[in-house]
Structure 1
Amino acid sequence: MPFLSGRRSGRPRLAPELDDTELGRLVKVLRTPSRPGMIGMTDLHVARASALLAAAGGDWDRRSHRLSVLAAAIPDAGLASAWAAREPRNADALLLHAWVRLERGLRTGSLPDSASLLKSCYQAAELRPEDPEPWVVLLGVARVERHDRQTALRAWREALARDRWNRQAHLQLLGCLSPEAGGSRHQVIEFIDAVRIRMPGDAPSAAVELTACVGQYLDTVSRGGVEALMARDHWSQPLVRSVLDRALAAWPSPGFLRHAAALADLNLLAYALVCAERPADAATVFRALDGTATPWPWQCDGDPLTEFERRQDRCLRPR
């Protein structure tokens, strides 16, 4: 991971792939428009995506990270659908196609062909029964379509039976239980309380509680008026302060966080500390990040790279 190397890499950069160099190369290729006259690019992209996912093997955390980042990077569903059409018995092809459609659904709030998406997930689960990812995508579908709580919990249990601390599973269930998806603040608190007492501090899902705290803060800000003006008080609540303090004490330490999306969680922590008006503490996290920025949550305040750089410069400025 970049924050383990001790190097300084210059200006901040948006890197949704985080420390995954091979993933970053493929994302760059997928986002580069094809030149006129070039043929066979779909075949080449499919081959590279297939090799990248196969290389993750049984590292479910790395595999989940690669699938979700690829799904967000693909400009349209053409590549994923072409791969799934060519190899309908390939679990990776089915899952990438499902993730691409889910990613679009999470952005737009609807899934035009959810029956086909569900079918892809169940087929992938049959082809690779040990893989938690089909169940993670099913959790995302339940979130977008506001399925009943029991439907979401069934997918949740299946995912965790295969990967106990799956990061995406925890985040998708958090989304399912949130007021935005038809849940409630009470359900979110119940969920966080249940997982906190058992979850190791360095688990891939360790940021689920901080994600809930940031989500509540952003929801308050979005209401505008007096509530938005008083949103900063959110960070002074004892429970919220303790969440920040526990994360700050451990996460930036070299080698503590080892999961694929560790740098995304550090971005979240830096953002929360900035919002909590704790610039000295945020500076510690910015140093650990070494300029690696993620779109979320910085995009909540404007252009993500601009916001990251502005907040970083302010926190690192000599006092």
Structure 2
Amino acid sequence: MGFLSNRRKRVRLAPELDDQELGRLLKSLLATTRTGTIATTDLCMAQMSRLLEQGPDDWDRRTHRISVLADFLSASHLPKSWAAREPRNPTALVLHAWSQVAQAGPRAQGGDRSDAAESCLRAAELAPDDPAPWVALLKVARWERWRQPQVFGVWNEVLARDRWNREAYMNMLAYLSPEEGGSRLQVLDFVDALIARVPANAPCVATELTAQVFQYQAILGRGGYEALVARTHWSQGMAAQALDRVVHTWGQPGFLRHAKALADLNLLAYALMAGDRRADARAVFEAIGGVVTAWPWQIGGDPLTEFEQAQRRATVGM
């Protein structure tokens, strides 16, 4: 138990997950942007460019890094300044568009969205093999509430470049949800089609479980009797099947190798504890190693507190 107690003390929110180079860049950006000088801006651009140019064909890692940087810099001038200074740099253009969406949120009204889609399209023209401009455009499409034929057109462009792009699948899942103009039936059809062909350790493999967590949290949000018995969601039907499909594989060392594997393990630990499957959750918490993602833990309050409490419940009786 002493070992587990030490693990709990080290829990931390880490948007970079296990990407140590990205983590160092985030710390450097936080430290250097406080001065606000032109020289600092140049330094930050050089640092971002150097990181994002690594592994140019590792689309999974590149998408992860762009998404984290866009969220981190959503309130900063840096993405816009970089795109303005290097208008033919596709990475700068994608980061700028992505950060605009991150700042406003996918369901926000208003905001400066005039050049987000144009930035994505220019980046796609400059880097025709890169899926990132199309993933960013998919986020813009959700933000601007495009019609489904347009959105599916963008979706197909992503798949043509990166078949199992995690960020793209998560965006389509959200777009097809009832909250964004789709329906529960469309979500089910989308997930069913994925289950039939996705490799067991593909970057997008958490799409099915994510859909079930969305549904579970919607039940909690309705309150009343439904919320009181929400735990039963995980013991029946598609939710139970979604857990059973992955519970014995995801936590195995090296099974999940994509950039957001730790985010998927957080999701699995949350779902297992929501269904009171504590014995199964213990190994998943061990695999997580204290790297906490805000979602889905934040639905109950402070994510670190929720994670620690769930981890403690999972280890009771050991």
State the Cα distance separating 1:88 from its structure 2 match.
0.5
Partner residue, 2:246 = 247
Alignment: residue pair count: 313
1:81 aligns with 2:80: yes
After TM superposition, the structure 1 = structure 2 runs for residues 114-263 of structure 1, keeping only pairs within 5 Å, are 114-263=113-262
After TM superposition, the structure 1 stretch with the greater mean CA deviation from structure 2, 261-270 or 215-224, is: 215-224
Where in structure 1 do 4 or more consecutive aligned residues deviate above 3 Å?
7-10, 31-39
State TM-score, norm by structure 2.
0.93
CA displacement, residues 127-148 of structure 1 (integer Å, 9 cap, x when unaligned): 0000111111121122223221
Where in structure 2 are there 5+ consecutive unaligned residues? 1-5
Shift of 1:227: 2.2
Q: Deviations over 1:155-214 (max 9, x none)?
A: 110000000000011011111100111110000001001111010010000000000000
Q: Aligned with 2:247: secondary structure?
A: helix
Match in the other structure for 1:60 = 59
Question: Which deviates the most, 187-196 or 138-147?
Answer: 138-147
Q: Deviations over 1:238-283 (max 9, x none)?
A: 2211110111111001111010000000000000111111111111
1-side partners of 2:224 and 2:98: how far apart?
37
Greater shift after overlay, 38-47 or 92-101? 38-47
Matched ranges for 1:12-91 at <5 A: 12-32=11-31, 34-35=33-34, 40-74=39-73, 76-91=75-90
Cα shift at 1:107: 6.0
Residue in structure 2 matched with residue 95 of structure 1 by the alignment:
94
Where 2:284 maps in the other structure, the secondary structure is: helix
2:3 aligned partner: none
1 or 2 for the larger relative contact order (CA 8 Å, sep ≥6)? Answer: 1
Q: C-alpha root-mean-square deviation of aligned residues, in Å?
A: 1.8
Contact 1:94 1:120 in 2 (8 A): yes
Question: What is aligned with 1:311?
Answer: 310
What is the Cα deviation at residue 29 of structure 1? 2.4
Structure-1 separation of matches of 2:178 and 2:69: 28
Contact 1:12–1:305 (Cα < 8 Å) also in 2: yes
Q: Distance in 1 between matches of 2:33 and 2:154?
A: 38
Percent identical residues: 54
Gaps of 5+ in 1: 1-6
* C-alpha contact 2:75 2:103 (8 A) present in aligned 1: no
Conservation of the 8 A alpha-carbon contact between 2:17 and 2:262? yes
Equivalent residues of 1:13, 1:305 under 8 A apart: yes
Distance 2:23 2:107 in 1: 25
Structure 1 stretch 240-249 or stretch 156-165: which is displaced more?
Answer: 240-249
Q: Measured at CA, do residues 97 and 156 of structure 1 come closer, stay the same or move farther in structure 2, by a change above 3 Å?
A: same
